[in-house]
Chains A and B, each alone.
Chain A
Amino acid sequence: MTAHAAPKPPRSWWRRLGFALVNVWLVVHLAAIVIAPASVSPSSPLIRSAWDQVHPYLQTLYLNHGYNFFAPQPGESTLVGWEVTRDDGSTESGRFPDRSMFPRLLYHRHFMLTESLGFVPPPLKLKWHESYAQHLCHTHDGQQVRLERITHLLPSMQMVRAGVPLDAPDSYVIEPMGTYQCRD
C-alpha cells in the first residue's frame, strides 16, 4: 500500500503504553467486527457468548450488523394500506411507500418502514402498528384509521414469460392490521 518506512517504536514509556493500547484496541475491534455478523443466527454458543461480550461496544458505535444484504435471499415486499375516517364521515385512503415519492432516498425510508414490520420484536408489534396509525391520524386529521398489511408476491420467470405483469392483482395478499382510534 505504501512506500514509506514503518515508524520506529516509540521511545518514551508513556508513548509505548499508548502504542500498546492502540494495538490492543485494534485486536479487540477487529474481533468485534467479525463476531457481529458471525453471531447472526444460526451461530454457535461460542460465538454467541463472544457476542455478549462485544455487544455493548458494537452497539455504542453502531457496528452491530450482519451485513445480510438481500440474504438469505430476496423476497416479496411489504406495503401498508390505510384508510382514514374523519369526524364528518369522509374517508381518505392510500398505500405506502408511494413510488412517486421524491427524492428516492425518502421513498426508501418509507419502504423500510413497511419492510421492517416483519422484524419488529413481538412485544412491540401492536405499539408499532399503533404508532404508524397515529402518524396517519395526525397527518390526515382523522378520527380513526384502518391499516392493512399488503404482501406483494414475486412472479417467477415462467409467469412473466406467460404475460403476468409484476403488479398483477393476484400478487397482492392483504391482511388486516386493525382499526385504531385517533388520540388527538
Chain B
Amino acid sequence: MLVRTDSLTKRYGGFTALDGCSLGVPTGESFGLLGPNGAGKTTLLRLLLGYIRPTSGSAVVAGCDAVADPLGVRRRTAYLPGEARLFRRMTGHGVLDFFAALRRDCRRAAAVAVADRLGLDCDRQVARMSTGMRQKLALAVVLATDAPLVILDEPTANLDPTARAEVLDLVREAKRAGRTVMFSSHVLSEVEAVCDRVVILRAGRLVHDERIDRIRRGHRITARLAAPFAGVPAALADRVRATATGGGRVVLEADDSLAGLLGWLATLPVEEMQVEPVGLAAVYDRFHRPAAAESRA
C-alpha cells in the first residue's frame, strides 16, 4: 500500500472533521474521494501531508509517517490544494521557476509543456490571471513532478470544458506511468472516468468503498409485481439486494452481471420492468441524497 490510514481522526473542539478513517491505496491505483462540502475530504488530504496533526490514529505515505516525517511524505507527493493560490506579483514563468527551484523533481520544461496543453499564457502576471488560469498554472506545477503519489483536490474546479478534458487525460497519463493518484472531486462523472476505486465520506466518516468497475457492472432493476415480493432467494443474496419495496413495486440492485439472475427474474410475477446501470451517481445518492435515490428508483 502506498497510502494507509488507521483510525485517522481529527477533532476541532467539539467538532469532528474526520472520524476513525481507515483506508489503503495500493501503488498505481487511481483513487477517488467523494463527499459533499464538509465531509472531511480535504481534512483527510491535509492530514496525509502533515499540514494538520491527527487527534488520534495514523497516516503513512510511502513508508513515511505523516506526523513524524512530513518532509518524507512531501518528497514523494505532488499536491494540488483545493484552492491553489500563487504569488500575485510573479508572472506564470516566475511561478514555474520558483517551484522548479523549490523542488528538485519539478521539471520546468515539463511544467511549461503542461501549461501549453492547458492553453495557459505564462507571460501574464498571476494577479492578472483569472481563477481558472491560476488553477491551470498550479496544475502545471503539480503535474510536472515525478512524485509517485499525486493528490489532486478538486483539480477541475473553475476550468473550461477543454481544460477539464485535458486534466483528465493528464491524470490518466500519470496513472499509465505507474503513479498513484488520489482524486477528490464533486464531479461524479470525472471520478467515474479516471478512478479505479472510490470512497465516499459523510460527516467525517468513511461510509462506502467500492471499485469503479464493480459499480459499472452493477444494475438496478425496477419492477412492478402482480403479487407481493417474496424476497431475494438465499442463493442470490450475496449478489442482489432489494433497496426499496412496497406498493407492488420492488427495486433490486445487482452488484455484478445480470447473467444468473435472469432465470430468477423470469419466475417473478412482473407487470413492468426497467433495467439500467447503477452508476456512481446512484451510489453517491444512496449516502448523501437518500430521497433522490428513492425517487430515482
Partners in one complex: no
